[in-house]
Structure 1
Amino acid sequence: MRLGTIDGVDSAGPLTVGVDIGGTSIWASVVDGDGQVLDSAHAPTPHSADALERGVERAVRELAHRHDVAAVGLAVAGFIDSDRTTVRFAPHLPWVDASVARSLGERLGLPIVLEHDANAAAWAECHFGAAAGGHNVVIVAIGTGIGAALLIDGRLYRGSFGVAPELGHLQVVPDGRACPCGKLGCWERYCSGTALVETALELLAADPSASTVLARDVAVDPGALTGRRIAAAAEDGDPLALATFADFAKWLGVGLATVADVFDPDLIVICGGVGSSAPLFLDAAREHYARLVTGSGHRPLARVRHTLLGEAAGMIGAADLARASVSDPPGDR
């Protein structure tokens, strides 16, 4: 295919599409070789496997109708096999042992590459964003749940079977909140967009007389409460929302201390949908992390940075990995 052109200017390499498939939304973007997003499409995440595949197909076709694209990368919130062609399991998605790359490739007539969404975000942050210059880097992608990625000397570490590191499902509370993965007390059940809602409801249940904007929202429609609504209320000074984010920051610090104990990274990057609200929690989380890490006060601490690419990181990384698959010989991806 031709190199993509925008306003008559060649992009740095072929244009590719990156699709970030999360538990609530599908975002697809055309991305050039410099990591720039040129065009996007968006849709809710369907609840059946076939509908999800058709939803991705529609989003890619919409973009391919407007741009000449060479390949598609999918950033998936789930376990990807070592060949990056099959979704083994995804706690928030309907795909189970699904040969997504083959099926979508047949539908679209384009090469398809799968990647764990946090790995895709890590790749993008390493090449275009906040992880540039890091030696050993942990990416924590906070959205519907928690995704995580590990870069060692700039190389993605996927483990022996392609599923590492599943940090969101480390148990932080024995017999704690139930998780869709089947366990209890997983980190993401206390530190995610879903966790924000559950914490806010628990705090409200503990003090039903609380007079706050969120309390009034819940009284009108309990199902309308979302992480974004809580963030907006916190920015406006709502006390229940601020207490919710204080709890969130505590659990983020707990998890980061565990991550540092295991991996001893020099850099941790926070990204994902909830990451866009970092001013509400990141400083407090850093304090909890610095206090809780083993050897506190007697060891160097990893820098904890906020994403430079925002919610587009997964799409940009998936698109770049897809570009590498059609442009370059296999390397340190």
Structure 2
Amino acid sequence: MSPAPAVGIDIGGTKIAGALVDSMGRITHREQLPTPGEETVDVLDTTAQMVTTLVAAAGGDVSGIGMACAGMVDGRAGRLWFSPNLPLRDLDVAAEIRQRTGHDVVLENDANAAAWGEYRFGAGIDCNDMLLATVGTGIGGGCIIDDRLLRGAFGIGGEIGHITIDPNGPRCGCGNDGCLEVYASGTALERYARELIASGEAKGAGLRHRCGGTPEALTGQDVTELARAGDEGAVALFAQLGARLGEGLASVCAVVDPAVVVIGGGVADTGALLIGPTTEAFAAHLIGRGHRPSPTIVVAALGNDAGLVGAAALARESTA
């Protein structure tokens, strides 16, 4: 008889996604609910509803229940300190869900869960030391060191998006100035595009036409579609984004020294447009370059499912 599936849940600002995941990291069943309103109790109740639905879909037999959530999470304690897109503050989420469902759960930061998913079943499989950078609206990170997930003393380890690149740079959503996230995220891509349009440079003509001369109307998807079509300005913006990402990752690698750097998140779906300039800048800024082995940079294999798969794997392994 095959082992019981584990439950993986990804609590996001707009939706709560859930899945049953088998012991090989394959998703066998999915559910999704909209993330409710702005009240803590509503988010907890909806998450508990997702747990109950998935356990029922598994016939009442699961090998663990794992939840991934964006924010500062102490995975060992099941506590979430702060979430930027959810009304959850200094809360024992694991205890709240256990009280509502009667089931023990494992809580982890979403990027950490995604890193574990890629490490166990994706682009970092069989790699003892791996760094995941998720490049989307912001930048998340997860580190695997000596086969262990780096959490830190308070569960906040691996927040690579908030290393300081320039203390005189733009304000980041975290409250500091000049974070990597400000320079190398999807939000940064949109800012770069609007700045190029406002500059009046000829290579911004395609972008200017796309938004009808209104830079604020331009989206990251617009820039991506133009870049894929070969638009000079849009391609240059991805080169600018990748250069800053590569510089930042090289700095992180001076600390954690991974064998593989996995790039995930929505912006990474652009493939070579981002990975090419990222790899080039990374190689140019890596400490000891030319005299040491260099980490390999690869695209994530699990896509948006990495958090679900990783949360389920962490829950399964916590009960083993």
TM-score (norm 2): 0.88
Q: Distance in 2 between matches of 1:29 and 1:233?
A: 34
1:190 aligned counterpart, secondary structure: helix
- Work out the percentage of aligned pairs sharing the same amino acid: 39
| 1:53 to 2:47 alignment | no
Give the corresponding residue for 1:191.
184
Q: 1:170 aligns with which of 141, 163, 167?
A: 163
Q: 1:286 Cα deviation (Å)? A: 0.6
Q: 1:254 Cα deviation (Å)? A: 0.8
1:14–1:323: 8 Å Cα contact kept in structure 2? no
1:176–1:185: 8 Å Cα contact kept in structure 2? yes
Give the corresponding residue for 2:57.
66
Q: Distance in 2 between matches of 1:244 and 1:20?
A: 31
In structure 2, the CA distance between the partners of 1:54 and 1:228, relative to structure 1 (3 Å rule), is farther
Give the corresponding residue for 1:88.
81
1:141–1:271: 8 Å Cα contact kept in structure 2? yes
Q: 1:227 Cα deviation (Å)? A: 3.0
2:157 aligned counterpart, secondary structure: coil
In structure 2, the CA distance between the partners of 1:231 and 1:107, relative to structure 1 (3 Å rule), is farther
1:261-276 to 2 correspondences below 5 Å: 261-276=254-269
1:161 aligned counterpart, secondary structure: coil
1:54-95 Cα offsets, whole Å, 9 max, x none, are 443444455445333534311122111253411011234332
1:74-133 Cα offsets, whole Å, 9 max, x none, are 112211125341101123433210221111222233222101112211211121111122
| 1:251 to 2:241 alignment | no
Paired residues, number: 316
1:118–1:149: 8 Å Cα contact kept in structure 2? yes
Q: Please list every run of 5 or more consecutive structure 1 residues that lacks an aligned counterpart in the other structure.
A: 1-9, 329-333
TM-score (norm 1): 0.85
1:210-267 Cα offsets, whole Å, 9 max, x none, are 432x434433876664434432332122333322211111111111110122222221
| 1:211 to 2:205 alignment | yes
Q: 1:285 Cα deviation (Å)? A: 0.8
Q: Please list every run of 5 or more consecutive structure 2 residues that lacks an aligned counterpart in the other structure.
A: none
Q: Distance in 1 between matches of 2:223 and 2:50?
A: 29
2:81 aligned counterpart, secondary structure: strand
Q: 1:39 aligns with which of 4, 29, 32?
A: 29
1:275-328 Cα offsets, whole Å, 9 max, x none, are 2223221022111110112232222211111111112111100011122234x1
In structure 2, the CA distance between the partners of 1:168 and 1:35, relative to structure 1 (3 Å rule), is same
Q: Distance in 2 between matches of 1:177 and 1:111?
A: 42
Q: Distance in 1 between matches of 2:261 and 2:275?
A: 12
Q: Distance in 1 between matches of 2:56 and 2:226?
A: 40
Q: Distance in 2 between matches of 1:80 and 1:240?
A: 39
1:130-160 Cα offsets, whole Å, 9 max, x none, are 1122232111122222221221221112112
Of residues 31-40 and 199-208 in structure 1, the stretch that sits farther from structure 2 once superposed is 199-208
Give the corresponding residue for 1:307.
300
| 1:140 to 2:133 alignment | yes
1:130–1:308: 8 Å Cα contact kept in structure 2? yes
Q: 1:43 Cα deviation (Å)? A: 4.8
1:165 aligned counterpart, secondary structure: coil
1:110-149 to 2 correspondences below 5 Å: 110-149=103-142
Q: Distance in 1 between matches of 2:315 and 2:177?
A: 36
Q: 2:9 aligns with which of 19, 22, 43?
A: 19
1:92–1:180: 8 Å Cα contact kept in structure 2? no
In structure 2, the CA distance between the partners of 1:82 and 1:309, relative to structure 1 (3 Å rule), is closer
Q: Distance in 2 between matches of 1:208 and 1:24?
A: 37
In structure 2, the CA distance between the partners of 1:247 and 1:221, relative to structure 1 (3 Å rule), is same
Q: Distance in 2 between matches of 1:33 and 1:145?
A: 31
In structure 2, the CA distance between the partners of 1:208 and 1:286, relative to structure 1 (3 Å rule), is closer
2:161–2:181: 8 Å Cα contact kept in structure 1? yes
In structure 2, the CA distance between the partners of 1:41 and 1:252, relative to structure 1 (3 Å rule), is same
Give the corresponding residue for 1:108.
101
Give the corresponding residue for 1:157.
150
1:269–1:304: 8 Å Cα contact kept in structure 2? yes
Q: 1:169 Cα deviation (Å)? A: 0.4
